[in-house]
Chains A and B, each alone.
Chain A
Amino acid sequence: MTYQFDFGWLIESLPVLFKGIRITVQLILIGAVFGVALGIACAWVRALGPKWLKPVVAAYVELIRNTPFLIQLFFIFFGLPSLGIRMSELSAANLAMIVNLGAYSCEIIRAGIQATPRGQFEAGASLAMTPFQAFWYVVLVPALQRIWPALSSQIVIVMLGSAVVSQIAAEDLTFAANFIQSRNFRAFETYTVSTLIYLALAILLRQLLAGLGWMLFPRKASR
């Protein structure tokens, strides 16, 4: 072993690194909020929604869950301009993550809805709620509580998967790492640092989601 470790480049690369972190965090925050919202809407359609809309959502879910994320990203960024739909790298990355998480979270949330006892819908109905009101006010929160761990995992998976947006030159953390490495030729050190940052981000995100669940779902007062 004659390799000399050198982290001297780190200081001058910090601005690039921080920008990458900022973009990655921004991507996952936007992706998670809108992706889960899309997932809830789609889960409602698949479990309880109007019949004519069900095949549409089913096709969307199957399409996304059976194709690679990278191809979805390329399709949005390189393919759609042919139809006159152009967007920035960052917008394309955001859209791809929302669409991707929307499909996966749809299936997770649907499982939570379908595990709801029928009596909950009937109780809502007997109190003169419309089916949608019963879904929104009665069924949704316990359904989300049931599947929260699975949904949290999926959000973390999407966050880690966001590394591929560097392929369309969205300047995320992976893009920053590649950029720095191509300047300093210190692949081992550069990717060690970026690995640790991803690890920290993922752990932070899990904690954040656990905290959100803690706020969102009721807990027994004491015991």
Chain B
Amino acid sequence: MSLIAITEVKKRFGDNEVLKGISIDVAPGEVVAIIGKSGSGKSTLLRCINGLETIDEGSIVVAGAQFLPDEVHLKALRLKVGMIFQQFNLFPHLTAGGNVMLSQMVVKKTPKKDAEAVARKMLDRVGLAHKFDALPDELSGGQQQRVAIARALAMQPIALLCDEITSALDPELVAEVLAVVKELAAEGMTLVMVTHEMRFARDVCSRVVFMHQGRVHEIGAPEDVFANPRTPELRQFLGVQ
């Protein structure tokens, strides 16, 4: 039984069909990396799973929650999948703790005291318990991204979507964020990540999806995909002959 079932999804922006019938099943606890050139549709696919983009055809079901573009269904879907963005998107007027508490209180109506306890626990989990009262401006990019992860985790999602979460970071800050993700993967969290960190994809992911021109071009275990690319497009993308 797959946790995330993506079936024949098509998505158009005007005349430009960016997803041309994508089908992927993700099992519970799987860590799936989506790789591919920019413009291949990988970020769009990820955003569709969270309902940030609508789809034109096909279906997306996450643990029984079907993606339909109305408020009730969107909320049910988004309670199951958290999302982490390239640009962190922390709320600038709230402290790290406030960022992690807000959606618990607003969406789940969790009492403030309980939300704070969860926030402290989640910040501790990403190694930032001591930054509870810091504003996003006072944190490094890597720390901001870890707060964003804590914020998503506080909603207790059953899967996390990561959209190039290390692409906006200075090289020396990438490791601390990937370490957190690696830990989540080890704890059994289901992850779907668009990434350019090939070594990370190879080491941590259970499956790799190579997207090309709006289609799943190759899919398989990382050792196969990276060691034996079958198509010329993937060989070119990976820079192997």
Q: Is there contact, CB below 8 Å, between A119 and B78? A: no
Q: Is there contact, CB below 8 Å, between B138 and A119? A: no
B75 contacts which of A119, A128, A137, A220 (Cβ < 8 Å)? A128
In the docked arrangement, what's the CA distance between A145 and B137, Å? 15
Is A142 positioned at the interface, with any CB of B under 8 Å from its CB? yes
In the docked arrangement, what's the CA distance between A152 and B45, Å? 44
Q: Is there contact, CB below 8 Å, between A126 and B107? A: no
Closest-CB distance, A194 to chain B (whole angstroms):
40
Q: Is there contact, CB below 8 Å, between B135 and A218? A: yes
Q: Is there contact, CB below 8 Å, between A127 and B89? A: no
Q: Is there contact, CB below 8 Å, between A127 and B152? A: yes
Q: Is there contact, CB below 8 Å, between A122 and B89? A: yes
The residues of B that contact A127 with a CB separation of less than 8 Å are: 78, 82, 102-103, 107, 151-152, 155
Q: Scan B55-78; emit 1 where CB is below 8 A from any A CB, else 0.
A: 000000000000000010011001
The residues of B that contact A218 with a CB separation of less than 8 Å are: 92-95, 135
Is B91 positioned at the interface, with any CB of A under 8 Å from its CB? yes
Q: Is there contact, CB below 8 Å, between A119 and B85? A: yes
Q: Is there contact, CB below 8 Å, between B107 and A128? A: yes
The residues of B that contact A220 with a CB separation of less than 8 Å are: 135, 137-138
The residues of B that contact A130 with a CB separation of less than 8 Å are: 71, 75
Q: Is there contact, CB below 8 Å, between B93 and A141? A: yes
Is A120 positioned at the interface, with any CB of B under 8 Å from its CB? yes
In the docked arrangement, what's the CA distance between A141 and B95, Å? 13
Is B33 positioned at the interface, with any CB of A under 8 Å from its CB? no
Is B1 positioned at the interface, with any CB of A under 8 Å from its CB? no
Is B44 positioned at the interface, with any CB of A under 8 Å from its CB? no
Is B166 positioned at the interface, with any CB of A under 8 Å from its CB? no
Please name the residue on chain B nearest to A139 by beta carbon.
Answer: B91
Q: Is there contact, CB below 8 Å, between A122 and B85? A: yes
The residues of A that contact B95 with a CB separation of less than 8 Å are: 218
Please name the residue on chain B nearest to A119 by beta carbon.
Answer: B89
On chain B, which size bracket covers the interface?
Answer: 20 to 34
Q: Is there contact, CB below 8 Å, between B155 and A128? A: yes
A120 contacts which of B91, B106, B137 (Cβ < 8 Å)? B91
Q: Is there contact, CB below 8 Å, between A128 and B79? A: yes
The residues of A that contact B85 with a CB separation of less than 8 Å are: 119, 122-123, 126
In the docked arrangement, what's the CA distance between A123 and B155, Å? 13
Please name the residue on chain A nearest to B87 by beta carbon.
Answer: A119
Please name the residue on chain A nearest to B77 by beta carbon.
Answer: A128
Please name the residue on chain A nearest to B95 by beta carbon.
Answer: A218
The residues of B that contact A9 with a CB separation of less than 8 Å are: none
- Beta-carbon contacts under 8 Å, A45-92 to B: none
Closest-CB distance, A102 to chain B (whole angstroms):
24
Closest-CB distance, B128 to chain A (whole angstroms):
16
Given A122-B52, A221-B138, check contact A128 B93 (CB 8 Å): no
- Beta-carbon contacts under 8 Å, B74-116 to A: 74-75, 78-79, 82-83, 85, 87, 89-95, 102-103, 106-107
- Beta-carbon contacts under 8 Å, A97-153 to B: 117, 119-120, 122-130, 133, 137-138, 141-142, 145
Q: Is there contact, CB below 8 Å, between B83 and A126? A: yes
In the docked arrangement, what's the CA distance between A128 and B74, Å? 7
Is B50 positioned at the interface, with any CB of A under 8 Å from its CB? yes
Please name the residue on chain A nearest to B138 by beta carbon.
Answer: A220
Please name the residue on chain B nearest to A122 by beta carbon.
Answer: B52
The residues of B that contact A133 with a CB separation of less than 8 Å are: 106-107
In the docked arrangement, what's the CA distance between A119 and B82, Å? 14
Given A122-B52, A125-B52, A127-B151, check contact A138 B107 (CB 8 Å): no
Known A126-B78, A127-B107, A129-B103; 6 more pairs at CB < 8 Å: A119-B85, A124-B103, A126-B152, A142-B92, A142-B93, A217-B93
What are 27 A-to-B residue pairs whose CB atoms are below 8 Å?
A: A119-B85, A120-B89, A122-B85, A125-B50, A125-B52, A125-B74, A126-B50, A126-B52, A127-B78, A127-B107, A127-B151, A127-B152, A128-B103, A128-B155, A129-B103, A129-B106, A133-B107, A137-B102, A138-B102, A142-B93, A145-B93, A217-B93, A218-B92, A218-B94, A218-B95, A218-B135, A220-B138
Q: Which A residues are within 8 Å of any B CB, using their own CB?
A: 117, 119-120, 122-130, 133, 137-138, 141-142, 145, 217-218, 220-221
What 10 A-B pairs have minimum CB-CB distances, sorted nearest first?
A: A127-B103, A123-B89, A126-B83, A128-B78, A119-B89, A141-B93, A128-B107, A128-B75, A128-B79, A218-B93
